[in-house]
Chain A
Amino acid sequence: MNVPVPERNPVIVHVDPDRCCGAGQCVLAAPEVFDQHEEDGTVLLLDPRPPAALAREVADAATACPGGAIRLEEGTPR
């Protein structure tokens, strides 16, 4: 069987809604992975193990987060 090799190691995404200031940067960077709570705009994690193809977008989201509410942990390929 031909198993595709991921571009990079996939990451595990952790979010801390207490640190979130609702600026929406993560949704702009990676809408497949992050959304905002309807009531107070705080982060909603849609996919804690996003595909490797989204690694750059997820990294951008973590860097862009003004509250430091997104933490990335190196994962193993799923």
Chain B
Amino acid sequence: MATAATTAHPAPRGTCPFAPPPAYQQARRDTPVTRVTLWDGTPCWLVTRHQEARALLADPRFSADAARPGFPFLSAAARHIGAGKTSFIRMDDPEHGRLRRMLTGDFTIRRTAALRPAVQQAADDLFDAMTTGRATADLVAEFALPLPSLVICLLLGVPYQDHEFFQRCSRTLLRRDSPIAEVVAAQDELTAYLDALTERKRTEPDDAILSRLAARGELPTEDIGAMGRLLLIAGHETTANMTALSVLALLRHPEQLAHLRAHPEATPAAVEELLRWLSIVQTGVTRVATEDAEIGGVLIRAGEGVICQINTANRDERRYPDGDALDLTRDTRQHLAFGFGVHQCLGQPLARLELEIALDTLLRRLPGLRLAVPFEEVRFRHEMTVYGVESLPVAW
């Protein structure tokens, strides 16, 4: 690697706020695997193409264990979090599988489908509160964020009244530029909160996930707390940002919006394309090689870090012709928005259900939905692990 200067990770986005960084788009055209430099000067491999990213994420020679030497951390905040008590997202099999299987029964296709009436009711209630007697609202604060927050609270057995607290902690933990003291505080506060809640479930059980994990008697409180933290953050941040960003993307593509309004039965397909096109896990998925392995013709040595750049892989023209175009009718199969391999998103059926209901409810009940500010004034979440918009003022 004595040749050209490497690109920084994360690289800045270009003029289109929906598109991946131009430097990574170009890297994908040039080569399947490239070299980047992380915030602390550490070199790291970047996989930009679909086939190679998919292969790597399914390859057991690449570890998700943040405790392994060489694991790439994308910020000081991420390094602090990785050094603490993490849950199965940062473990390998068999321990990863053992913990994950304690939850997979709660996120099956059938169990998730049974939640449809409850999710629809929550969406309708939020919608009514947002729109009754009013002509404008911030879609993020009043709909996109509370909907998945309510649902994950219900599933975990976390009181929704505490949402401002856990949403604040979550934001701090997912900001790449959070001061480390704030990250430490947020991590400690959220951990203490979920540990205490888990302890309470041991004496006051209910039917929700935290309580059932406690009732199994197999896991110490801190492990259940860590799982709760993972599910709570992953369960609301991702869907909230996907919802708001999807609405904005549709408003900016009137012909696609018209198609969806004319074909509401195509909402599930539209959700898949929006997942692919937006790929909100913008900093990618990190792994470390546990042995020498070749990916895309490049030898990655044991102990070297790798980032799978999901947003460029999902626009790879080898798999998705004209991949930069938002096309709600395209073949979206095998997109990597939920990752791939054994770590693939546990909650993806729930995310799909929530996105489908959110979009359907908004479009069906607001035929005049539009941006209430010029597009140039919308603030995008460039500093966050999960991409989105800070707020989305809309009118109808």
Q: Which A residues lie at the B interface, using CB under 8 A?
A: 19, 21-25, 27-28, 31, 35-42, 60, 63-64, 66-68
Considering only residues 174-223 of chain B, those with a C-beta below 8 Å from chain A are: none
B348 near A24: Cβ-Cβ < 8 Å: yes
Residues in B with CB closer than 8 Å to A68 are: 58
Residues in B with CB closer than 8 Å to A66 are: 57-58, 339-344
B333 near A22: Cβ-Cβ < 8 Å: no
User: Which one of B58, B104, B339, B340 lies within 8 Å of A22 (CB-CB)?
Assistant: B104
Interface size class of chain B, counting residues whose CB lies under 8 Å from the partner chain: 20 to 34
A23 near B348: Cβ-Cβ < 8 Å: yes
Complex: A64 Cα to B346 Cα, angstroms: 14
**Known A22-B100, A63-B334, A66-B58; contact A41-B342, beta-carbon cutoff 8 A:** no
Q: Which B residues lie at the A interface, using CB under 8 A?
A: 57-58, 97, 100-102, 104-110, 333-334, 338-346, 348-349
A21 near B342: Cβ-Cβ < 8 Å: yes
Complex: A24 Cα to B339 Cα, angstroms: 14
Residues in B with CB closer than 8 Å to A25 are: 344
B58 near A64: Cβ-Cβ < 8 Å: no
User: Which one of B57, B105, B341, B342 lies within 8 Å of A40 (CB-CB)?
Assistant: B105
B101 near A67: Cβ-Cβ < 8 Å: no
User: Which one of A21, A36, A60, A63 lies within 8 Å of B110 (CB-CB)?
Assistant: A36
Chain A to chain B contacts (Cβ below 8 Å), 20 pairs: A21-B344, A22-B101, A22-B346, A23-B345, A23-B346, A24-B107, A24-B349, A27-B109, A36-B104, A36-B108, A37-B105, A38-B105, A39-B105, A40-B101, A41-B105, A63-B333, A63-B334, A66-B58, A67-B341, A68-B58
Residues in A with CB closer than 8 Å to B345 are: 23
Q: Give 14 new A-B contacts, CB below 8 A, not counting A21-B344, A68-B58.
A: A21-B342, A22-B108, A23-B344, A23-B348, A24-B108, A35-B110, A36-B104, A36-B108, A36-B110, A38-B110, A40-B105, A41-B104, A66-B340, A66-B342
Complex: A40 Cα to B346 Cα, angstroms: 12
B333 near A60: Cβ-Cβ < 8 Å: yes
Residues in A with CB closer than 8 Å to B107 are: 22, 24, 41
User: SS class of chain A's interface: helix, strand, loop or mixed?
Assistant: loop
Residues in B with CB closer than 8 Å to A35 are: 110
Closest to B268 in A: A28
Nearest chain A CB to B143's CB is how many angstroms away?
26
User: Which one of A19, A41, A60, A67 lies within 8 Å of B108 (CB-CB)?
Assistant: A41
Residues in A with CB closer than 8 Å to B58 are: 66-68
Residues in A with CB closer than 8 Å to B109 are: 24, 27-28, 31, 36
Nearest chain B CB to A72's CB is how many angstroms away?
16
**Known A24-B349, A66-B340; contact A42-B334, beta-carbon cutoff 8 A:** no
Q: Which of B57, B102, B105, B345 has the most CB of A within 10 A?
A: B105
Which 8 residue pairs of A and B lie closest in terms of their CB atoms, listed nearest first?
A22-B104, A41-B104, A66-B344, A21-B342, A36-B108, A27-B109, A41-B108, A24-B109
Q: Which of B97, B334, B343 has the most CB of A within 10 A?
A: B97
Residues in A with CB closer than 8 Å to B110 are: 35-36, 38
Complex: A22 Cα to B346 Cα, angstroms: 8
Complex: A60 Cα to B109 Cα, angstroms: 17
Complex: A38 Cα to B104 Cα, angstroms: 9
Residues in B with CB closer than 8 Å to A60 are: 333
Residues in B with CB closer than 8 Å to A36 are: 104, 108-110
